[in-house]
């Protein structure tokens, strides 16, 4: 690509992925991170295979434990244990995982400026201006990946509401012998949400989240009860919470020179609140949009909006419907999962990422949904102009 100068705001999974891919393609990338690295991020740190396939090996080397058994609980129903080796969840600490992603971006050539919060941004016809403590700087393009809430989106007039927003609380607690360390527990005890138990490297991570605002005030007490029900002492850790915006923002996700990625675009899924894989994938889509613009294939970056919606929209839409059904009646939902192997298979498909947009191996190929081309699936690099839902130019010519 040409030597475009690109500012990426936020060194989470979305920002570091965009920065790495663009630097690999020759852009001059500056990755701004407000915190000093390594920084902590409130998160269960459960990585589904979708995310595992999308990140560099160095990030996967930070995995503390793999869990291939999930136990589903709902009210008085008998718990349902599922062995899902093909959808095993990798447990990470975000401090180390995110650092590995950022280091990979730096190795690719991105300049990482941590401890330097961006305090303002404005777009002009011929560039984007960012403000930090060091003063103002101009770039050709800006990728806002500064999480939730995204101040960058607000400064640029892109802060429209997410389709749904969950409040999630979590706490790290010491293990007890009573609890398995090879099984994650998902307990549908709260309306429009669930509580989780994740066995991490040397402790348990417990959390709870719900989309229903009326339930938010009760989440802390419910998480405390959940911990006690599992035989854990909630007072041995500190309960903290944060928002998860899901289902994509309702308004524009891009302007001529600005893109929103990850939580800044509300890319997390509306059922599990899983955000890492979708943040990383949005970083892939963002990098490809900037690369296409640099190569003259796009007039500006506005096409990213449609590309991201085509790539993520169907999967997030399906999960939104499942969330609504589970909210109506978790009992029926669990009974259906128990009785129907087809429903179980589809759930495993969704977690494992065996459906678009997560069907490809490799990196940029992951956003390639060309129905006609076997190239990327066979391990090759996707052709440059391969785009979500659009056949490759070469495939079009063949057909």
Ligand X SMILES: Cc1cc2nc3c(=O)[nH]c(=O)nc-3n(C[C@H](O)[C@H](O)[C@H](O)COP(=O)(O)OP(=O)(O)OC[C@H]3O[C@@H](n4cnc5c(N)ncnc54)[C@H](O)[C@@H]3O)c2cc1C
Cβ 42 to ligand X, closest distance in Å?
5
Distance from C-alpha of 191 to C-alpha of 134, rounded to nearest angstrom:
47
| Exposure of 39 in the CB half-sphere (CA atoms within 13 A) | 16
- Cα distances from 377 to residues 350, 362, 367, in angstroms, run 19, 9, 12
Spatial CA neighbour of 82 closest among 95, 97, 67: 67
Distance from C-alpha of 223 to C-alpha of 169, rounded to nearest angstrom:
8
Cβ 116 to ligand X, closest distance in Å?
7
Give the three-state DSSP class for 69. strand
Tokens at 372, concatenated: 């006609």
Spatial CA neighbour of 183 closest among 297, 325, 84, 285: 84
Determine which helix (DSSP H) or strand (DSSP E) holds 53, and give its type and residue range: helix 49-54
Residues that bind ligand X (CB under 6 A): 9-15, 32-35, 39, 41-46, 117-118, 145-147, 151, 168, 170, 207, 242, 244, 262-264, 268, 273-277, 279
Distance from C-alpha of 354 to C-alpha of 360, rounded to nearest angstrom:
9
* Of residues 65 and 338, the one with the C-beta less far from ligand X: 65
Cβ 217 to ligand X, closest distance in Å?
17
* Of residues 171 and 301, the one with the C-beta less far from ligand X: 171
Cβ 293 to ligand X, closest distance in Å?
21
241: exposed, middle or buried (Cβ count in 10 Å: 0-12, 13-18, 19+): middle
* Of residues 78 and 238, the one with the C-beta less far from ligand X: 238
- Cis? peptide before 398, omega within 30° of 0: no
Question: What residue number has its CB nearest to ligand X?
Answer: 275
* Of residues 202 and 372, the one with the C-beta less far from ligand X: 202
- Cα distances from 203 to residues 42, 139, 219, 239, in angstroms, run 15, 43, 21, 15
Cβ 274 to ligand X, closest distance in Å?
4
Distance from C-alpha of 46 to C-alpha of 198, rounded to nearest angstrom:
8
Distance from C-alpha of 397 to C-alpha of 399, rounded to nearest angstrom:
6
* Of residues 49 and 147, the one with the C-beta less far from ligand X: 147
* Of residues 147 and 357, the one with the C-beta less far from ligand X: 147
Tell me the DSSP string of 179-195: S-SSEEEEE--STTEEE
């Amino acid at each position: 690509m040409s030597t475009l100068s690109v500012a990426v705001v936020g060194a989470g999974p979305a920002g570091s992925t965009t920065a790495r891919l663009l630097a690999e393609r020759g852009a001059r990338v500056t990755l701004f991170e407000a915190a000093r690295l390594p920084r902590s991020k409130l998160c269960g740190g459960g990585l589904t295979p979708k995310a595992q396939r999308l990140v560099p090996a160095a990030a996967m080397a930070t995995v503390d434990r793999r869990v291939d058994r999930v136990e589903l609980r709902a009210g008085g129903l008998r718990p349902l244990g599922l062995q899902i080796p093909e959808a095993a969840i990798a447990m990470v600490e975000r401090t180390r995982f995110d650092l590995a992603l950022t280091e990979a971006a730096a190795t690719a050539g991105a300049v990482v400026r941590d401890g330097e919060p961006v305090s303002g941004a404005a777009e002009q016809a011929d560039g984007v201006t960012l403000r930090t403590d060091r003063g103002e700087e101009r770039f050709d393009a800006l990728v806002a990946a500064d999480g939730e809430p995204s101040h960058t989106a607000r400064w640029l007039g892109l802060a429209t509401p997410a389709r749904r927003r969950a409040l999630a609380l979590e706490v790290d607690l010491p293990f007890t012998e009573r609890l398995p360390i090879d099984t994650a527990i998902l307990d549908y005890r709260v309306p429009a949400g669930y509580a989780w138990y994740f066995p991490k490297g040397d402790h348990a991570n417990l959390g709870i989240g719900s989309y229903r605002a009326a339930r938010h005030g009760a989440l802390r007490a419910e998480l405390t009860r959940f911990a006690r029900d599992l035989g854990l002492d909630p007072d041995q850790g500190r309960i903290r919470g944060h928002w998860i915006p899901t289902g994509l923002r309702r308004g524009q996700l891009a302007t001529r020179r600005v893109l929103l990625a990850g939580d800044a675009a509300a890319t997390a899924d509306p059922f599990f609140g899983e955000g890492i894989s979708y943040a990383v994938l949005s970083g892939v889509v963002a990098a490809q949009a900037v690369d296409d613009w640099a190569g003259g294939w796009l007039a500006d970056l506005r096409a990213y909006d449609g590309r991201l919606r085509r790539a993520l929209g169907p999967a997030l839409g399906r999960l939104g419907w499942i969330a609504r059904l589970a909210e109506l009646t978790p009992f029926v939902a669990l009974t259906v999962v128990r009785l129907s192997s087809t429903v179980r298979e589809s759930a495993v498909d969704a977690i494992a990422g065996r459906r678009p947009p997560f069907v490809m191996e490799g990196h940029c190929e992951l956003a390639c949904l060309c129905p006609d081309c076997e190239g990327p699936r066979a391990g090759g690099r996707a052709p440059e102009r391969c785009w979500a839902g659009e056949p490759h130019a070469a495939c079009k010519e063949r057909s």
